[in-house]
Structure 1
């Protein structure tokens, strides 16, 4: 009897493994940034067997001090995506996790915006997006594309959705870094990359974007589904709530989740389980 149970368990494990998606590491040669830029990409089960199938795409952005491996290694997103797709809570999708930083913050470029010496936003939209979507036959239109991320990536996701509302069906921002003091607590200098990314976040303030939005811009923002998710003990809590309030004042519908939690992976593990189904529901059929 014990032998039979062991055999059944092994068969079950093999079955689960064969239904799993995969995370691949790829790279783009960027003329804009003058270097090769790595990214991880999740492809769902059956991706290789259906070369003609087109998938919706999610851009999943990491936070400050992390890199393109964070969502795979710390976030365990492959396990989450497999479970959600298998249960029907999310549709089969491609998830692209681009590199926009690293732990050596004083000497490594961090950030999703253009700044002196680092035109990341141009790279993202002019090089990464078209090349990755063509290679992995995904995205291609607003209704088949979403962007989400945590902390620095949550702010990047929000601003990308604001500045490129014609390209994304939904934005899910986790513990989002939406504004800063503009680096005033640091000495200005091109060699201090922490100063540069802090200033870039201030220069691309998601709150100021909504405050200053005219009616045409507001209408464009209404075409995107918005979701802000932040822990009640997160140091970025007030910024997230303030942006939600500003959007409500201009009748831009957004969802806000405030759960018990801090600015850490324990919180984001839960958030990603909400984020992927949210994106899935808002893809065009």
Structure 2
């Protein structure tokens, strides 16, 4: 009987330990509205007073703030394993994480790169240092992760993308929403300026830790290959991986653990920064 009680106690303790998930509303002064956001805290957050590194994790086209926690079932386990706070903001249906030159009320770059972090760092025990912040995402959010990471490299120390839709100058179909944000698709210069390829042409003074990956059967894998090729040409250090998989949640649920490990290692190397 004592052994049964002891086993029950141990199992209860084991299953009680898991990441906590908050859903918060974060106001955007730039856009005059509020959007929801999921914040995943590791188990250790509630058991002490330490501060934690932060990973901003972006959703894809047609997605929403709770996609990651709802569809990547292992994410909470990874948050505990790598002991980071993960923030999943809402990037709307097809924001592309841009400040639109066509729509003055569409300011998702400002929202994700400035307003959301300001809220998180005022409400949670997270480290306010460049070397303790990372941003990544999937598909449209892969574009967002690298685009915002490159554009705000004084704030984020690491950035990544999974199955990233990086070459937005080639995304001309109206249903994807890029032309609504950037105007006539004939204006290739504007499109390129709002892609990671345009950002990579700018002189850089900050060194970002970069990670990209994609499934070999993904219908936009060529965009990841083009980004990898350009980074090599520019001699910009980065991790690049292709593994079995498609443009789907089974791939991203697997891929996110490797991205979080990459960021955990980066945070540990920069613990004093």
The reply to whether residue 57 of structure 1 matches residue 54 of structure 2 is yes
Q: In structure 1, how many angstroms separate the alpha carbons of the residues matched to 2:46 and 2:10?
A: 22
**Which one of the candidate residues 133, 140, 144 is aligned to 2:132?**
144
Shift of 1:141: 1.4
Shift of 1:273: 1.2
1:19-54: CA deviations, max 9, x gaps? 21201101112211111111000111132343x421
What does residue 67 of structure 2 align with?
Answer: 70
Shift of 1:213: 2.5
Q: In structure 2, how many angstroms separate the alpha carbons of the residues matched to 1:184 and 1:42?
A: 35
What does residue 186 of structure 2 align with?
Answer: none
Shift of 1:205: 1.3
Q: In structure 2, how many angstroms separate the alpha carbons of the residues matched to 1:207 and 1:197?
A: 18
- CA-atom RMSD in angstroms: 2.4
Q: Helix, strand or coil: the match of 1:114?
A: coil
Instruction: State which drifts further: 195-204 or 257-266.
Output: 195-204
Task: Please show how residues 107-118 of structure 1 align to structure 2 within 5 Å.
Answer: 110-115=95-100, 116=103, 117-118=105-106
Normalised by the size of structure 1, how large is the TM-score?
0.83
The reply to whether residue 279 of structure 1 matches residue 270 of structure 2 is no
Q: What runs of 5+ residues in structure 2 fail to find an aligned partner?
A: 184-189
Residues 184 and 47 from structure 1, CA distance in 2 versus in 1: closer, same or farther, beyond 3 angstroms?
closer
**May I ask how many residue pairs the two structures share in their alignment?**
259
1:173-202: CA deviations, max 9, x gaps? 100111224664439xxxx95642586875
Tell whether the 8 Å contact from 1:179 to 1:204 is kept in structure 2 after alignment. Answer: no
What does residue 46 of structure 2 align with?
Answer: 48
The reply to whether residue 267 of structure 1 matches residue 221 of structure 2 is no
Normalised by the size of structure 2, how large is the TM-score?
0.86
